[in-house]
Amino acid sequence: MSFKASGHDSYTVNALNRFATLLFVNQELITSVSHPEWLYSGLENGLDAIFDKITSIFKFKTKDEIALTEQYMFTQLYVVLWQYKDLVGYYTKHKDPFNLKHN
């Protein structure tokens, strides 16, 4: 899996890329198991939406804009991580996204 943020503010883009890398690497190390692509895709798609909006819409020029960005990031990352937690729970229980029988 790979992720690459893009946008006008190089500092923000670098921070987002580092955050994504840290998140993915830590998940791999914590589980010590290679998860299927569909599981990572759920997290990656959520992060893509956040990073695209942050790097294309927010300008980071005033304190109010910075505060709005931080609030947006906090709430949206919470939602994305909560959804990812649910995907991990589903994967742990079923091991196969197409097998709906309980193990």
The whole-number pLDDT of residue 10 equals 74
In the chain, where are the structural domains located?
A: 10-94
- List, in order, residues 6 or more apart from 103 with CB less than 8 Å away: 93, 94, 95
- Give the CA dihedral 3, 1, 78, 55, nearest 10 degrees: 10
Q: Kindly report the pTM of this predicted structure.
A: 0.51
The whole-number pLDDT of residue 100 equals 46
pLDDT tens for the chain, 103 residues long, are 566 666 666 776 777 777 777 676 666 555 555 666 666 677 777 777 777 777 676 666 777 877 777 778 778 877 887 787 787 777 777 765 555 444 3
Spatial contact of 85 and 91, defined as CB atoms under 8 Å apart = no
